Amino acid sequence: MQFVPQPPDAAPNVTRSLHRAVGLLRLLASHTRIGWRLSDLAEHTSLDPATVHRLLRALVDEGLASRVPGTRHYTLGPLAFTLGLAAAPYFDLGRPTQSRLATLAKELRGTVFLKLRSGVDSVCLARHDGVGPVPSLMLEVGGRRPLCLTAGGVAMLIHLPRADQVAIEADNRRSIERMNLRRWQGVRRMLRRSRSLGYASNLGDIAAGINAIGVPVATPAGDPAASLTLALAGAPLAQPQADALATRLRGEAAEIAPLLAGLRLGRTD
């Protein structure tokens, strides 16, 4: 790639284009299985289709985005993968915790997720199915979701400063309501219950028949940079059972929290 110097007055436009391109990459990362149509990307970013098309062409040219074969959908490209490989030793908490979290999933007979905060979203670092995959649990490793939409995200959100919580909720609400107007009602129930309990509690609020309990994994400075979640299929959990699971997850989170000190998680945006 050849770098061409830009005149000083072009800097604001370059910066704006960069922010827009990164926003597109975040969206592409949220639905890697089926990808995104250009029109949907334009709607979610509030950009005109011509601008989205121009940015996508540049991302495709550089290998950061690609077309899903046989479709008009866009997803992440090969360069995104190879860049991630280079960064993994400094950011991937999933590798050093793999064995113990797989054991935890079998012990609790559910699906254990390890997630990392990324700005207003959470990213799935690891998934361990203790009793076989649950079809309705669609989140795979690398999947990105608004913090408010999953128990793992809420576990981090409710331990942030209140001003940050308000700003993130407002951003997430716009994103979630674009996908499903009614879903925010379930999110509000989950947030209200979780704040009262001090841990994330999803009792079928997002998907019927799926319960999830989540707790934060804090950095040495006390920042909720990651989370542990247990998801179970079935009827809503009784409160004593939910409390006991939260206690078990907190113990596990305390054991793996020291590993965060060796990662470069000073910023989560």
pLDDT, residue 66, reads 95
Strand, coil or helix: 72:
coil
Return phi, psi of residue 145, to 5°: -140, 150
d(CA 104, CA 111): 9
The rounded Cα 43 to chain-centroid distance in angstroms is 20
User: For the segment 186-215, what is each residue's pLDDT rounded down to a tens digit?
Assistant: 999 999 999 999 999 999 999 999 999 999
The residue-averaged pLDDT of 63-75 equals 93
- Alpha carbon distances (Å) from 98 to 23, 92, 127: 30, 11, 9
d(CA 225, CA 260): 8
pLDDT, residue 2, reads 46
Q: Residue 186: CB partners within 8 Å, gap ≥ 6?
A: 205, 206
pLDDT, residue 164, reads 97
pLDDT, residue 14, reads 86
Using alpha carbons only, what angle is made at residue 137 by residues 132 and 142, rounded to the nearest 5 degrees? 100
pLDDT, residue 3, reads 47
| Average pLDDT across the chain, whole number | 90
User: For the segment 125-165, what is each residue's pLDDT rounded down to a tens digit?
Assistant: 999 999 877 766 778 888 889 999 999 999 999 999 999 99
Q: Where are the alpha helices (DSSP H) in 109-230?
A: 151-157, 162-179, 183-197
DSSP assignment of 145-168 = EEGGGSHHHHHHHTTS-HHHHHHH
What topology is assigned to 92-262 in CATH?
Beta-Lactamase (3.30.450)
pLDDT, residue 92, reads 82
Q: Answer yes or no: pTM beyond 0.85.
A: no
Q: How many CB atoms neighbour CB 75 within 10 A?
A: 18
Write down the domain spans for the chain: 8-82, 92-262
- CATH 1.10.10.10 is right for the domain spanning 8-82: yes
Lowest mean pLDDT among 37-51, 121-135, 229-243: 121-135
Return phi, psi of residue 219, to 5°: -70, 170
Whether the per-residue pLDDT at 11 is higher than 80: the answer is no
pLDDT, residue 244, reads 97
d(CA 201, CA 193): 7
